Amino acid sequence: MKFVKTIVFLAASALVGMQSSSLMCAQGVNAQILLHPPADTWPGYHGDYSGRRHSALTEITPQNVKNLSLAWAFQTRQTAEIKSSPLLVDGILYFTVPDNIWAVDARSGHEIWHYTYPPNKGLHIGHRGVGMYKGYLFFLSPDAHLVSLNAKDGSVRWKVTVADVTQGYWTTMAPLVVGNHVLVGVSGDFDNLSGFIRSIDPETGATQWQWDSTPPVGTPHQTTGGMTWMTGTYDPDLNLAYWGTGNPTPVLNGTTRPGDDLYTCTIVALNPDTGKLVWSFQVSPHDTHDWDAVETPVLVDADFRGEPRKMLMQTSRNGYFFVLDRTNGKNLLTAPFGPVNWSLGVDPQGRPIPNPAKEPAPDGRLIAPDEGGMTNYRSPSFDIKNGLFIVDAHPSWSIYFAKPADGVYGWAGADYDVWGKGVIEAIDYQTGKIRWSHYLGPEGSGAGVLTTDSGLSFTGDALGNFLALDSSDGKTLWHAGSGSRIQSSPITYELDGRQYVVTSSGSVLFAWALPPAN
Amino acid sequence: MNLFRSVPLWSLRFAALFLLSLTISQAQTASAQSAQSKKGAAQASTPVLNKYPPAVVDSGASLFQQNCAFCHGKDASGGESGPDLTRSKLVKDDRDGDKIGPVVRNGRPEKGMPPFNFSDSQIAGLTAFIHTQQAAATSRKGGRKGVDVADLQTGNADAGKQYFNGAGGCSSCHSPSGDLAGVASRYEGLELEEQMLYPKNAKAKVTVTPPSGETIKGTLEYLDEFTIGLIDPAGVYRSWRTSDVKYQVDPSLNAHVELFSKYTDRDIHNLMAYLQTLR
């Protein structure tokens, strides 16, 4: 009964969501906008809290998408590739590369302001974007600071240290704003460090709580690692924040950390008000292949084999697709979504059992998938109409090495990609079977997936083409060559009655729309 | 072949590094230079150590940590997805950044490496750091990190030969007296194993038949859903819309992919042992 009520509530809120927030004369975001994003917003990394990266917009359809054309492009004039998802609030897009934030007019691509973080020694591998609360932006720097800025002009309100860059931490993720909590995570795989999620007060920058994913560094026979480098999701009804944790360290050598290495490679459910762990599900016990479980924990309310369920789904880097009951973390389905040769099967709790013979070795072990994994930080999307979990997958093989001379610190081994390809896979969430797949080219694509209610999947191939696919069968309906690699996930919004799709490739942001009627 | 080539190249590298150090180290006196190079000559495995001004190495190290360490590792010996630069032939062959600089500035888009817009002095710093790391790693005899040729000697050559001619099906495309004659002289260690598992740089042959019916054979240069491009026998690039032509890409490389799910690790080590007999 409660479930039925929730469905009605969600449907009603979706209708509200279709209205324009400009009627509310919004300045920044509030809890209502984050809970039920209006059509002319994209207020968080995933859009809404569910991580489905699915939009109710239907102006662009399988029939007319062939007419999709460039509305504008924005050039960052930098060599850093865009890996962020822009936020859209009050008609302004906010997006990032390491050390840089831009505020850009979503109607024209005109730059409103550009913030540059001072030179620093952090790792500049990528950046996923900003979080927003009221009229404030929250930006994590390569040297692991959280900066709060005024969205109207990019001026800095305050800056606080999240972790010590000199120990080997850095930060790249887009903070998740829940209520009056700014939830942030950290990166740092090249040193033996503890991962954590921290809740920070959006007004003051003060720490509210911190949850550590691994025991303190130096605890005998215990793992370090469990970095928290991707944005989680949130269920307001259960008041649970869901987060994936990264791999253990030392990365490729597990001898100093016997056992499961909790809570690395784990999906955790935390109370966002207290940081208390409510449940956990480990997708890779005792990982020795760098397979973070940080891929989007996607929240779906639907029937599972005839029973209404509140589910959490993840296509994990280790090659398995998981469906969990997100009220308690119990496993409903575990199924590989590509070649996997490192496990001895699945245990009664639904966790893959690592095969000791497939741990990295001095003379090498052939492993599927490769170290980048069957998928990575790029977002998947869930299309409820077709019952499909659509993901940019990377079937792949590699060789893994580790020997005593590699030590027990940081990487502690070596791995080499042998072969891989990119494929969009549409997974039937009730069986794990792949209903359709769409080849993207050799090696793989870095593009995420966005689906819409009209039945479209937006993504990109391995050669830099933006693609619009038919969500029901994966057929290509539209494409545009972008001239560079695609490393981000698309978003969509409606402004002035016109639907835009925003993608990026290389250092350029592209906005696409149907030609205006007149 | 490797051994044959390594001696003259090595000495060239040493000379080049010495020259480089002369150009970038104005502060150091000529006598100090001379003393260092003598020390380097005496300890053949560590010629580069201390040859770069610490300030240049440090600035390169800092830039490396910010931009390169994720893929290539903090000590340049390999990280996520990037190769071990301390064992890189390109680094060994580099003089004054002449090989490293262009790779950094142009990236290697086909391998996922983005370009970096660094100044000449930044490239000099990176070059100094990478060479310093390579020299340090090379000097760590016996306990060296990463994949040594000696690590890959656990197989049985007879069993490998059997697999080559039998279960592996390798002999249907390859011959020890034909294309693989002397392969162990062209490649060794990890590079040989990578080539064996999947020859990444091999270009596939392709046949395109336009509606006119005239068939064009060439080397596949580009293929996506929409466009096919080849280099024809005259060396000219030609392309078509895939919707306008019929085309056939030579599928022989797929045989390597099909083996991945069939190999045991022992099969791979045995095959390696066999290939290493083909000198």
B245: containing domain? 205-249
The verdict on B194 and B104 lying in the same domain is: no
User: CA-CA distance, B217 to B226, in Å (whole number)?
Assistant: 19
- Cβ neighbours of residue B120 under 8 Å, at least 6 residues apart? none
Which residues in chain A touch residue B268, judged by CB atoms under 8 angstroms apart?
Answer: 364, 366
Tens-level pLDDT at each residue, chain A (518 residues): 444 444 444 444 444 444 444 444 447 999 999 999 999 999 999 999 999 999 999 999 999 999 999 999 999 999 899 999 999 999 999 999 999 999 999 999 999 999 999 999 999 999 999 999 999 999 999 999 999 999 999 999 999 999 999 999 999 999 999 999 999 999 998 999 999 999 999 999 999 999 999 999 999 999 999 999 999 999 999 999 999 999 999 999 999 999 999 999 999 999 999 999 999 999 999 999 999 999 999 999 999 999 999 999 999 999 999 999 999 999 999 999 999 999 999 999 999 999 999 999 999 999 999 999 999 999 999 999 999 999 999 999 999 999 999 999 999 999 999 999 999 999 999 999 999 999 999 999 999 999 999 999 999 999 999 999 999 999 999 999 999 999 999 999 999 999 999 999 999 999 999 998 76
* Burial of residue A8, with CB atoms counted within 10 A of its CB: 0-12 exposed, 13-18 middle, 19 or more buried: exposed
Which residues in chain A touch residue B145, judged by CB atoms under 8 angstroms apart?
Answer: 405-407, 414
Distance of CA A171 to the CA centre of its chain: 14
* pLDDT of amino acid B114: 87
- Cβ neighbours of residue B158 under 8 Å, at least 6 residues apart? B274
| In-domain check, residue A444 | yes
The verdict on B128 and B192 lying in the same domain is: no
Does the complex come out with an ipTM higher than 0.85? yes
Decide if pLDDT at B28 tops 60.
no
| In-domain check, residue B241 | yes
| In-domain check, residue A330 | yes
* CATH assignment at residue A255: 2.140.10.10
**Closest chain A residue by Cα to residue B118:** A79
Say if B202 is an interface residue toward chain A (CB within 8 Å).
no
The verdict on B81 and B195 lying in the same domain is: no
Q: Which of A77, A121, A166, A401 is the mutation pick for testing B, counting most B CBs within 10 A?
A: A401
| In-domain check, residue B145 | no
* CATH assignment at residue B105: 1.10.760.10
Which residues in chain A touch residue B225, judged by CB atoms under 8 angstroms apart?
Answer: 461, 465, 476, 479
User: CA-CA distance, B18 to B15, in Å (whole number)?
Assistant: 5
Which residues in chain B touch residue A341, judged by CB atoms under 8 angstroms apart?
Answer: 261
3-state helix, strand, coil in chain A (%, to 5): 5, 40, 50
| In-domain check, residue B233 | yes
Helix (H) or strand (E) holding B42: helix B30-42
C-alpha distance from A295 to closest chain B C-alpha (Å): 17
**Closest chain B residue by Cα to residue A361:** B151
| In-domain check, residue A518 | no
The verdict on B45 and B166 lying in the same domain is: no
Nearest by CB: B81 against A365, A410, A417: A417
The verdict on B124 and B212 lying in the same domain is: no
Cross-chain Cβ contact A339/B224 below 8 Å: no
How many domains does chain B fold into?
Answer: 3
Helix (H) or strand (E) holding A114: strand A111-116
**Closest chain A residue by Cα to residue B151:** A363
A130: containing domain? 2-513
Which residues in chain B touch residue A401, judged by CB atoms under 8 angstroms apart?
Answer: 146-147, 151
Which residues in chain A touch residue B81, judged by CB atoms under 8 angstroms apart?
Answer: 371-372, 417
The verdict on B157 and B266 lying in the same domain is: yes
* pLDDT of amino acid A23: 45
* pLDDT of amino acid B144: 86
- Residue in the block written with tokens 């090696």: A443
Summarised one tens digit per residue, pLDDT across range A230-247 is 999 999 999 999 999 999
How many domains does chain A fold into?
Answer: 1
| In-domain check, residue A490 | yes
The verdict on B112 and B224 lying in the same domain is: no
The verdict on B66 and B81 lying in the same domain is: yes
The verdict on B10 and B72 lying in the same domain is: yes
pTM score of the predicted model: 0.90
| In-domain check, residue B144 | no
| In-domain check, residue B90 | yes
Q: How many Cβ pairs closer than 8 A exist between chain A and B?
A: 119
| In-domain check, residue B123 | yes
| In-domain check, residue A73 | yes
A6 SS3 class = helix
| In-domain check, residue B267 | yes
* pLDDT of amino acid B140: 78
The verdict on B119 and B20 lying in the same domain is: yes
